[in-house]
Structure 1
Amino acid sequence: MRPVGRRTGMRLLALLPTLLSLLLLLPAVGASAASAASAAEGRPTVTLSAQQAGKGGRITVKGRDWHPGTLLMMLICGRATPAEGVIGGTNSCANAQGRAVTTGRTGGFAKEMPVAEPPVPCPCVVHVATVTGEQATADVVFEVAGHPTAPLPRETGGGKLAVLATTRLAGDSGLLTWFGAPASRKLVLTVGNLGSAPVKDPVFEIGTAHGVYAPQWEERQWRGTVAPGRKAQIELPVELAAGAHGDYQVSLRYGTKVLAEQPWRVGRPWGVTLFWILLCVVVPAAVFRIGMAVVDKVRPRPAASRPRPARHRPRRRGRAVAPLSTTTSASLPWFTPDSAPSENRPTTKGHS
């Protein structure tokens, strides 16, 4: 029996390092499983280095499970909770002290940002939202020390609208937009009435924001009625200023609550750039041609060649002297071809 006990003990000692390594790997496997489950759910998360800080302090914001290579905007917003969202949109946030960050390859980020007081009372959150790409937001509770606090505004009336489907921008840019015409789209979304009273001809507000600036709100009324427990598809026009280009954020607000936000990337109007390039080429060429025509018109011309007048000999007394002929082929006036003396002609004189 002793040999068998010894063999079993030796086997247990040999398996001890393997068991220890498995125990060490269990926490890592659990963390990996939790991370994979969170990524599968598609819910981005945000954590803070401190839950409370005063104005002028700094906190570090960390996030994970975001889409890789996505540009995010971090803001401290008042009148907001993770459940209700930011009431009033980015008008309730300290936009000037916001910070932008781009997620890494794994969808994570870490960025330090200053603590600022929002323009409305708390409860406050650190609001992280995508600027480009697929829409995603995350809010985490944060307390700004010394900032006033007030209860959230309550909705009036029996009707309550909520977005039931993902919003989208329908439409496409035409040829005139390539030359600087205003870009226009239609904001399409499906809303449902979660209240106990019908909502008739609701008035929405559409805001367009460029970069970190607050959106400019414009009223848009939708004609129709949404009965309690019913849903309806709403289309609202959205238009930017002439020549606008870059990354924009379109927000939809009903009452004091922002229902949806949609990114919109507008291309540069290259037709305007091409026009200015052609203008810079054509105008100097036209000025050069006009200048050359003026120079050719005013420059002095060389004098035309004229025949030199014949020189006359001075007159002698008694008779006039005939001028010399300028041609060599003409015969003298006192000689004719027949009267010219010949050396071979015999003479009639001299016979003896």
Structure 2
Amino acid sequence: MTYPRTTPGAPLAGALLALLALLPLLALSAGPAVAEEPPRPKVTLSKSEGGKGGEITVSGSGWQPGALLMLLVCGQAAPGTGVIGGTNSCANTDGRAATVDARGAFTQKLPVAEPPTPCPCVIHVVGVTGRQDAVDTEFTVAGHPTAPLPEAQDGGRLAVLASARLEGSSGLLVWFGAPARREVVVTVGNLGPTPVKDPVFEVGTSHGVFAPQYEERQWRGTIEPGRRALVRLPVELAAGAHGDYQVSVRHGGKVLVEQPWGVGRPWGVTLFWVLLTVVVPAGLFRIGMAVVDRIRPPAAPAAPAARRPRAPRRPPARRRAGAPAPAPEEPTAALPWFTPESAPSENSPTTKGMS
């Protein structure tokens, strides 16, 4: 009985092949590497209650470094539900801005003011640049009226399913400073379990480092769960606005889309002022000349020039038929020393010299 002959490297090659076959199984069992989540933003207050005219210190951590934040006292809000009326329920004139340092922290003093809506109230901290984080911290405004929060109209959750766009064009009047108008067109879907009926969106425009000023826009219609809808929201700038703007749309306190909008300079206004600087001086000059012509005294009439008496014309001498026409006489200039009286006559004796 004979046995097959084996080479010395065969067991090593088989082990390598088995190890290569097990590598995919080991990778699947280990699973993907879990990325470390960034810290969630937090806000703390120096005190939980204050009266109008007072001041509190707002501190935060876990925010995006270098971000610009807006701090407001808002009514009709509670932690977890957001500000129901948006910034229309906040004391916007008494708000403060804060800049996050390199460690993601900030500290800012905020005056206590009464919001335009009743409490429950919160200190609303929202990111203006960078991540659109928002944190609401419960706060009591002493002496301010209180009312229960309105019930939620629906339990739907809207999300953007396609990129937004701006539709519309500028007319001739915009070239002369009229307000520019557009429509924000966005496709949203209902990811919640209940339908969303007549949702209220907030459309705001921002220029440079300024925070957007939101205005409510209600969309008429119902979005069933799992369905989508094309939403058109009008947006308008102030008269004479030009430059680079950013249009933001949010719903339920969450920013859905941001779309840039470049508005050209109204050169028609510049042309109007240039023409005005030319036409007005010319018109004033014409009016001044007309006034001068009216108030200037009339000039005296000039005396008529004296007429010289004409010399009497002698009738031409008659000539006989066939006689040649007399040659025209050439005028001869009279010599100063010759006069007709000094000419010799036929009867005067001639002198031939002295004899």
Q: TM-score range by the shorter chain?
A: 0.5 to 0.7
State the superposition RMSD in angstroms.
Answer: 5.0
Once the two structures are superposed, residues 177-208 of structure 1 have per-residue CA deviations (whole angstroms, 9 ceiling, x without a partner) of 343232223334453324444446x3535555
Which protein has the bigger helix share? Answer: 1
Identify if the C-alpha distance between structure 1 residues 331 and 78 changes in structure 2 by more than 3 Å, giving closer, same or farther. Answer: same
Give yes or no for the alignment of 1:95 onto 2:92: yes
| 2:106 pairs with 1:123 | no
1:274 Cα deviation from its structure 2 partner: 1.0
More displaced, 302-311 or 46-55? Answer: 302-311
Q: Deviations over 1:49-97 (max 9, x none)?
A: 33332332101234463463x6543211122234222111012212232
Q: Which residue of 1 aligns with 2:351?
A: 348
Unaligned runs of 5+ in 1: 1-36, 313-328, 342-346
Matches within 5 A, 1:29-44: 41=38, 44=41
Contact 2:177 2:239 in 1 (8 A): yes
Q: Which residue of 1 aligns with 2:233?
A: 236
Instruction: Establish whether residue 221 from structure 1 lines up as the match of residue 223 from structure 2.
Output: no
Task: Kindly indicate whether structure 1 or structure 2 has the higher relative contact order, using CA contacts under 8 Å at least 6 residues apart.
Answer: 1
- 1:113 Cα shift? 1.6
Match for 2:233: what amino acid?
A: L
Which is further off, 57-66 or 286-295?
A: 286-295
One of 168, 182, 185 as aligned partner of 1:185: 182
Q: Is the 8 A contact 2:217 2:233 kept in 1?
A: no
Helix, strand or coil: the match of 1:234?
strand
CA contact (8 A) 1:127 1:137 kept: no
- Does residue 113 of structure 2 align to residue 110 of structure 1? no
Letter in 2 for 1:56: G
2:277 aligned with 1:281: yes
- Segments of structure 2 that go 5 or more residues without pairing to the other structure are 1-35, 310-331, 345-349
Q: Using a 3 Å threshold, how does the CA distance of structure 1 residues 296 and 252 change in structure 2: closer, same or farther? A: same
Q: Work out the CA distance in 2 between the residues paired with 1:119 and 1:162.
A: 28
Q: How many residues in Structure 1 have an aligned counterpart in Structure 2?
A: 285
**Matched residues in 1 for 2:270 and 2:238: separation?**
20
TM-score by length of structure 2 reads 0.58
Aligned pairs for 1:255-270 (under 5 A) are 257-258=252-253, 260=255, 269-270=265-266
Task: Note closer, same or farther for the CA distance 1:289–1:208 as it changes in structure 2 (3 Å cut).
Answer: same
- After TM superposition, give the deviation of residue 165 of structure 1 in Å: 6.5
Task: String of CA shifts for 1:13-52, please: whole Å, max 9, x gaps.
Answer: xxxxxxxxxxxxxxxxxxxxxxxx77xx385554433333
**Match for residue 31 of structure 1?**
none
Deviations 1:193-245 (A, max 9, x none): 24444446x353555588799855454435xx533234445332323454356
SS of residue paired to 2:87: helix
TM-score calculated relative to the size of structure 1: 0.58
Taking the aligned partners of 1:88 and 1:95, their CA distance within structure 2 comes to 13
Tell me how far 1:269 sits from its aligned partner: 4.5
Separation in 2 of the partners of 1:100 and 1:47?
Answer: 16
* CA distance, structure 2, for counterparts of residue 172 and residue 63 of structure 1: 42
